[in-house]
């Protein structure tokens, strides 16, 4: 009995080696794909990213994340009258790991707070992937930021937006900030697809409330210590649910659009976490 308890409590070998394997995988992916991305960007004049999905897939695997998807990302179809430009994907936000997980399945650029661009290598990679930076503390720049996002969408580029404005603690989905939907004011026919992301299993076992702090990245928690702890967990299953796309023109105003997206995504989150 005692021996069994000791064995059960002893970290598995793949978990003990998780951080080292993760870092090695990240460095390997970066060393192969970043130079290729720089070359392709140079040939195209830096107007688009070419290999971000491949990089995000490699990064997710290196971190020990296995991705399960339900549904598919929306794609504009001009002949079907789906509007013009790219698709605005609206998702809940649980962890820094949302970036590689969503990036592995959605061909899109992210909207992030301006501080991310100053996070050393992370910021440099985010900029390389054409991340749209916003300064949420400066109300005076709201119009400029809205126009920058609208321009990218109108030009046919897909964008991923986290309308909670921050990371949740994983117990549910925080209220959406309707102001972040302002970009749709000028693009009423743009496709908007709600997306739910959830971390549902660790080493094959359902995620419990006690495990959420190891997965969710909240408050002033430092990135690197949390990332190391995340990689030490072992095999993590991330699930993505793509909901039916809508248009801003289908709603009375952006608040109604935000409420719809929140309801759909929050319901999806509860369903995924229940298994």
Torsion of CA 150, 83, 173, 181, to 10 degrees: 30
- Chain segment 174-206, per-residue pLDDT in tens: 999 998 899 998 899 999 999 999 999 999 999
Q: DSSP string covering 103-161, please?
A: HHH---EEEEEGGGGGSHHHHHHHHHTTPEEE-TT-GGGHHHHHHHHHHHHHTT--EEE
Segment 82-109 shows an average pLDDT of 89
Burial track 27-41 (b if 16+ CB lie within 10 A, e otherwise): eebbeebbeebeeeb
33: nearest Cα among 103, 88, 94, 86: 103
- Chain segment 201-240, per-residue pLDDT in tens: 999 999 999 999 999 988 677 888 888 889 889 999 999 9
Q: How far apart are CA 100 and CA 59, in angstroms?
A: 6
Q: At residue 80, does pLDDT exceed 50?
A: no
pLDDT bin (cut points 50, 70, 90) of residue 25 is: low
Q: How far apart are CA 160 and CA 18, in angstroms?
A: 29
Mean per-residue pLDDT of the chain: 82
At residue 237, the pLDDT reads 98
Q: At residue 10, does pLDDT exceed 80?
A: no
Q: Where are the alpha helices (DSSP H) in the chain?
A: 2-9, 13-16, 18-44, 52-62, 98-105, 120-128, 142-154, 212-215, 223-231, 254-274
% pLDDT > 90, the chain: 47
Q: How far apart are CA 182 and CA 180, in angstroms?
A: 5
Segment 104-109 shows an average pLDDT of 93
Q: How far apart are CA 248 and CA 128, in angstroms?
A: 30
Q: At residue 167, does pLDDT exceed 90?
A: no
pLDDT bin (cut points 50, 70, 90) of residue 260 is: very high
Q: At residue 17, does pLDDT exceed 70?
A: no
**Angle at the Cα of 223 (from 49 to 63), degrees rounded to 5?**
65
Segment 115-122 shows an average pLDDT of 72
């Amino acid at each position: 009995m005692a021996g069994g308890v000791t064995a059960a409590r002893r970290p598995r070998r793949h978990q003990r080696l998780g951080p080292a394997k993760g870092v090695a995988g990240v460095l390997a992916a970066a060393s192969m794909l970043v130079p290729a991305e720089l070359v392709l960007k140079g040939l195209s004049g830096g107007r688009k990213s070419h290999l971000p999905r491949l990089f995000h897939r490699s990064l997710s695997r290196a971190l020990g994340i296995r991705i399960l998807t339900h549904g598919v990302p929306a794609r504009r179809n001009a002949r079907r009258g789906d509007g013009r430009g790219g698709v605005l994907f609206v998702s809940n936000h649980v962890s820094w790991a949302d970036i590689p997980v969503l990036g592995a399945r959605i061909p899109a650029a992210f909207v992030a707070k301006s501080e991310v661009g100053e996070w050393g290598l992370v910021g440099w990679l985010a900029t390389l992937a054409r991340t749209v930076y916003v300064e949420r503390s400066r109300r005076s720049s709201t119009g400029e930021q809205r126009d920058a996002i609208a321009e990218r969408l109108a030009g046919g580029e897909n964008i991923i937006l986290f309308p909670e404005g921050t990371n949740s603690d994983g117990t549910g989905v925080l209220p959406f900030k309707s102001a972040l939907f302002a970009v749709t004011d000028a693009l009423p026919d743009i496709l908007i697809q709600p997306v739910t992301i959830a971390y549902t299993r660790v080493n094959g076992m359902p995620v419990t409330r006690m495990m959420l702090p190891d997965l969710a990245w909240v408050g002033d928690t430092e990135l690197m210590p949390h990332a190391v702890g995340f990689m030490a967990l072992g095999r993590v299953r991330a699930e993505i649910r793509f909901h039916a796309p809508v248009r801003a023109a289908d709603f009375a105003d952006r608040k109604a659009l935000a409420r719809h997206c929140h309801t759909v995504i929050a319901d999806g989150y509860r369903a995924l976490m229940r298994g």
